[in-house]
Every structure is written in structure tokens, then in C-alpha cells.
Homo-oligomer: A and B are copies of this chain.
Amino acid sequence: MSGNSLGNLFRITNFGESHGPAIGCIVDGCPPGLQLDIDDIQKELDRRRPGTSRHVTQRQELDKVEILSGIYNGVTTGSPIAMVIKNIDHKSNDYSNIANSFRPGHADFTYYKKYGIRDPRGGGRSSARMTAPTVAAGAIAKKWLLENNNVIIRGYMSQLGKIHIPFISWDHVNKNLFYAPNIEIISKLEEYMDQLRKKGDSIGARIEIIAENIPVGLGQPIYNRLDADIAYIMMGLNAVKGVSIGSGFNCVEQLGSEHGDEIYPEGFKTNHSGGILGGISTGQPINVSLAIKPTSSIRIPRHSIDINNNPVIVQTFGRHDPCVGIRAIPIAEAMLAIILMDHFLLNRGQCG
């Protein structure tokens, strides 16, 4: 399979380079009858938009989406939905000093070695911006899931560098730019980020995505497990280096008598499984944790090579995220929505 399509019955095909004419996607498989409107999509895109605070990339993109097909009288027809986002802010010159060298930790190196062609303009297809079409597609999935099955998908930041963020309330998440479920810790986080920005460095983060009101029975054993699909799409997110479900890496130290979620007539007692057992959903909330690595493009000088293998020192100026983890939350929510929608549709085909 070519590398740019995702999904089985709810299928997303992505196109565009960060600094080419436009980016976008085709969403294929959305059932007919869903009321869909530009605002449903724009609203999700705005959540990930750079330039909304001093903590994220200062590149001005309006990320204004256009729908080219698949809607008639404000309702999906069942035909493919094409969405396009024109690229407005192309300040390519910020990347000129790195045109021939590779940023350590960045896909420049692998992309050049694989394709023999270097597209220096803002990271080409490995740029964080390429997630915008996925977020647009995720907006459609989120809406369908909510209206058809009352599914709620939301995420938050649980750790920023060494700072653990205790969970207080979902209500706090939308009241700060970190998606932190904890208003009290914000000033500490802001202070830390300001220090990083001064130094020209970056930091990693840990984020959690939760899906609620999931019915039991999504997923197929062995090779099309729901957890496998989730791992696949999340590890495909730029900067993710680890994916876990439920207790995740805490399982390593758990006894079987602790880990297995006991069941009572009124329901499960715990949720160490994270809502998935044997690759199939249990009916409990699905909990996903992601490890987000620190951004590769920093101002601190780093050793690297150029395309002729000569040693160079690389510093990246321009506008970028000191912490990709912040913007990763709406993207990861979108991705979980896409996977869940695909599984809802698959499930109808197989056991209906």
C-alpha cells in the first residue's frame, strides 16, 4: 500500500507539503446523512493553530479549510469529502542556512537519503504542519461518533519535562494553553517554557487521550486489534516515541492479582486494561498515553554534516515549537477519532 492512506472503511488520504501551494486530504467512507459544516472542521483546526500563544510556533497560518466535495445541502452524501488548506505563510528564507545540512533529530537526513531529493522548505512532508489535514478529517469523525454513539474524545498533558501534572479536572483543560488539567500548576509550566525559549532549547512531554462511551466489541483479534490500530496511528504522529494503553509501562511491575480488572455485575472495578482486552474494546474508557520527544529544531548549536558529508554546526532560527507536546493533544484526539470511526464502520460490516 502506498504510504499516504489510512483506514479501511473510513479512509483518509493526505497530500501536500508544508510550504507547497496547499495541503489537504480526501476523507472517504463517511456515511451519508451527517450534518457537516465548515465550522465543525475549522474549530478543530483552530485548536492546533500556531500563533495562539507565546508558547507555540510563531508562524502565522490561518489554516482556513475549504470543502470541495461530498456535501449537499449541508449533509454528507456518502461520497468522498475533499478538504484543502491553502498555504499562506511561506517564509522559506528562515530555513536557508540549513538547506544543505541535516538537523540532528530531524527527518531531513532520512528523507534525503531515501528520496535523493531535498525539499528544504519547512520540513516537506515530515513537518508538524502536515497534521492539519488529519485534524480536519478527525473533526468529521469526532462529530459522527458523538452524534451516532455519544462518544467523547479528549486529551490533556500529564507531564512536561520533569514536571508531573496531577489531574484535577477536565474543566481546567480548556482554560490554559497547555491542555493541563490543573490550573494551579500553570505558572510553573509557563516559567519553565520561558527559560527554555531563552536558552533556545526544547523539551519532551507526556500526554493522555481518553475516549468514553465506547461500546464493547470494537476490534478484531490477532492482526486488526483496536489497540494495534491505535498504536499505529499514534506512533505515526510526528515526535511520538512511545505509545501505551491503560497501565502501559506500569504493567511491568504489576502482579496478575493486581493488574487484571475484576468484574462485578455492576461493572469493572478498575481499568488497568485501558478499555481494551485481547484487542477488543471492553466498554470501559480507552486510555492512551504518548511520549512526545523534544523538538529537533533548536537554536542551540549542534554537530551535524552537510549533504557532502562534511562536518557542520547547525542552529535553527525561525519559528517553531519549543514543545511539540502542546499541539499534539488535538492531533492525537483527531487520530483516535479516526481509528474509532473506522472500527465502528468495520464492526457493522462484520457482525451486523
Contacts and interface: CB of A to CB of B under 8 A. Distances in A.
Contact of A20 (B10, B68, B254, B289): B68
B241 A245 contact: yes
Interface in A265-305: 265, 269, 272-274, 277-283, 289, 291-296, 298, 300, 302-305
A33 interface: yes
Contact of A251 (B125, B235, B241): B241
6 nearest A-B residue pairs (beta carbon) = A107-B278, A3-B220, A105-B260, A349-B349, A3-B224, A242-B244
A249 to B, nearest CB: 4
A3 B66 CA distance: 23
Interface string A188-218: 0000000010000111111000000000110
Interface in A288-325: 289, 291-296, 298, 300, 302-305, 309-311
A122 interface: no
A78 interface: yes
A50 interface: no
A349 to B, nearest CB: 3
Nearest to A102: B263
Contacts of A66: 21
Copies of this protein chain in the complex: 4
B130 A222 contact: yes
Given A105-B256, A245-B235, A348-B348, A110 B280 contact: yes
A94 interface: no
Contact of A14 (B80, B273, B277, B304): B80
A140 interface: no
Name the residue among A116, A220, A243 with the largest chain B CB count within 10 angstroms.
Answer: A243
A96 interface: no
Nearest to A103: B260
Interface stretch (A23-31, A57-65, A171-179): A23-31
Interface string A1-18: 111111111111111110
Nearest to A1: B8
Interface string A27-45: 0110111000000000000
